[in-house]
Amino acid sequence: MLAKRIIPCLDIKDGQTVKGIEFENLIDVGDPVELGKYYSDNGADELVFLDITASHEKRKTLSRLVTRIAKQISIPFTVGGGISSIADAETILSAGADKISVNSAAITSPGLIEDIAKKFGSQFIVLAVDAKPEDGKWIVYKNGGRIKTNLELFSWARQTQSLGCGEILFTSMNHDGTKNGFALDPLKKLTETLNIPVIASGGAGSIDDFIEVFNYSNVEAALAASVFHYQEIEISILKEGLYKEKIPVRI
């Protein structure tokens, strides 16, 4: 059985790591390069960096930040934010990222996923999906959770898988930052619906939450931010707890 991955997520705004609750009320929590090195040195399996205010003008700044990060860490890392073309993807991968994450641009132009997959390979593409339940359906949002779309989570995930996406990073918007646990039912359904790995995101507040999501669903990784940034959970202690519950992890 493959080891389950623990992934700290660093949301980046104007070069600094920030965190909020339900995608709002962002506060500064530190330098992304320093935090990335800390997590790399202390047991994280991968990292995700998302530039939540990315724009064409800031793309070069993000590229330089990726290069700085790559020099400081020894684990794979994914970078997302404003990637809307093969050229954007190539810039970030060339700067040192191991994978790129797409979200809003893929919603606007689903063919982008297919184009990037053909150019670089599916293993380089992570589709980030932000969604929340409305009237019995999980509705997808874009632009950092600010704009509602007409897409439904599960059908969108299946479509992107068929286009060549290599992994799904699903964030439950109404769990994000609440520390009340992951959105278990949609995560379970995603893992039953898809043939590609699913990363759980949104709601981690305790070691038990990680144990629960791995036992309840077949997600291959769990991502969190504030509980790691504020050292409420140490990754080494988290992994010890998972190991005791017979959940395979890299110690």
Q: Active-site residues: which are they?
A: 11, 130
d(CA 208, CA 242): 9
Report phi then psi at 131, rounded to 5: -150, 160
d(CA 54, CA 189): 31
d(CA 204, CA 182): 6
CA 182 to chain centroid, in Å, comes to: 14
Neighbours of 185 (CB within 10 A): 13
For 56, the token pair is 């064409």
In contact, 35 and 19? CB cutoff 8 Å: no
Do β-strands 16-21 and 5-13 pair in parallel, antiparallel, or remain unpaired? antiparallel
d(CA 204, CA 233): 10
d(CA 100, CA 78): 5
**Helix or strand holding residue 226 (H, E):** helix 226-229
d(CA 54, CA 240): 36
